[in-house]
Amino acid sequence: MASDHGGYALKTFLKEKLEKAGYTIIDFGTDSEESVDYPDMIHPLASAINKGELERGIIFCGSGNGAQMTANKYPNVRAGLCWDVEQAKLTRQHNDANVLSLPGRFVTFEEGWEIADTFLNTPFEGGRHLARVNKINQLI
């Protein structure tokens, strides 16, 4: 997990819930509501996912956009910005997202939990979606 100040509260809530559910969490910060720059926390998490050191990531900022944009600079990262359960389901089923970006200022703690739970427990559908995912890094 990694967040800026805009996602800190939701990160703290979800970290506790996920640890209770049995997940091992590595927390890349931030550690308070003090204003910080989201790339400083998101880059280390995205780099670890990119190298295959971590399986899944959950990132946060106020809108979810800056965190997602930073993470998606890494070729092996597919970060989906999700504000409801249906988005989380689709970004797993169709995009094989390995990083979930949550907008800390736009979802409640309970909504955040439902979205994260869906993201972590929905399989990729493969098939035609695999061919599409494989084209994402084919820049022209």
Phi, psi of 95 (to 5 degrees): -110, -5
Q: Which residue is nearest to ligand RB5 (CB)?
A: 66
**Total site size for ligand RB5, rule CB under 6 A:** 8
Q: Which stretch binds ligand RB5 (CB under 6 A): 14-22, 56-64, 81-89, 129-137?
A: 56-64
The answer to whether 41 touches 3, Cβ cutoff 8 Å, is yes
d(CA 19, CA 14): 8
82 catalytic per annotation: no
Q: Which stretch binds ligand RB5 (CB under 6 A): 14-22, 62-70, 94-102, 117-125?
A: 62-70
Query: Which helix (DSSP H) or strand (DSSP E) does residue 102 occupy?
Result: strand 99-103
Q: Does 62 bind ligand RB5 (CB under 6 A)?
A: yes
What is each CA distance from 28 to 1, 82, 90, in whole angstroms? 6, 20, 26
Q: Does 65 bind ligand RB5 (CB under 6 A)?
A: yes
Binding site for ligand RB5 (CB under 6 A): 4, 6, 38, 61-63, 65-66
Which residues participate in catalysis according to the annotation? 61, 94
